[in-house]
Amino acid sequence: MHWLRGMMKQAAGVIFTLLIGCKSVGPAPCLQTPPLRIVCIGDSLTVCGGPGGRYTDYLAAWLDGHEVVNKGIYGDTLGGGRKRYEQDVLALNPDIVIIELGANDFWQARRPIDGLAADLEYMTAAARNAGAQVVIASCFGDADGSSPEFQSPIQPRYAAGIARFERDIAVRYDAFYVPNMQADIKPNTRTEYWGDDNHPNKTGNEFVARRIWIELQKALERTCAQPEQLGLL
């Protein structure tokens, strides 16, 4: 019976994934407003996918007429993002900031969790103080531990710590939170969605983009409800 339950669970996951893949993302809010600028700061998960296959490429296609700026850097961390935040994000006067950082901190598992939290809080607060909406895009919330990266003793605790401070910062700064942008393509042994063990391919990144899109739509709606932010007053 155990094998039967396993097969049924796997089949249910496949059906859910197919339904998500066929689902329309829906219209973007306020397409008639002046063009908005969405800046995405991140690590290799923001860069990977190849030409036209990054999650930001999908967001840009769904936000035709608005500007999506990719500021991903391979190997970046929360601390690295903080160091370049002024130049790479705030200097661009974004309307919305998507922060996708922390995966390399997870793999390294060296810095204290409080230090990582301080970096994310700095970036979130700086964007909110500048009048921008913030979407925190994570890989660690709602993780089921099925992927190989969660099999070492320290990684599950580290991931849980990151997820806790992400949620807390999102609540305190009235930001939007994507608990696990990779939820639909896990585990990362599913070769149809992954270019390698750590990076989604073009197909996988469409699912990532759809997860982010859910919260990005909310940020867009809030931005559109503030005419002074759009330069209409």
Residue 196, domain extent: 2-224
pLDDT in tens, 190-207: 999 999 989 999 999 999
Locate 62 and state its tokens. 């769904």
pLDDT above 60 (res 133): yes
Residue 157 lies in a domain: yes
pLDDT above 70 (res 150): no
pTM of the model: 0.85
**Least confident range of 10-24, 46-60, 93-107, 137-151:** 10-24
pLDDT above 60 (res 24): no
| CA gyration radius, the chain | 18
Over residues 68-84, mean pLDDT = 98
Could you tell me which residues come within 8 angstroms of residue 65 by beta carbon, excluding any fewer than 6 positions away? 31, 35
Residue 122 lies in a domain: yes
Residue 230 lies in a domain: no
Residue 233 lies in a domain: no
Residue 197 lies in a domain: yes
Structural domains of the chain, count: 1
Looking up residue 51, the CATH number of its domain turns out to be 3.40.50.1110
pLDDT in tens, 203-220: 999 999 999 999 999 999
pLDDT above 90 (res 16): no
pLDDT above 80 (res 227): no
The Cβ-side half-sphere exposure at 140, using a 13 Å CA radius, reads 22
Binned at pLDDT 50, 70 and 90, residue 164 comes out as very high
Residue 49 lies in a domain: yes
Residue 41 lies in a domain: yes
Residue 231 lies in a domain: no
pLDDT above 70 (res 146): no
Distances (CA, A) of 71 to 5, 145, 182: 43, 29, 19
Q: Please count the helices (runs of H) and the strands (runs of E) in the chain.
A: 8, 5
Could you tell me the sign of the dihedral formed by the alpha carbons of 42, 45, 50, 51, in that order?
negative
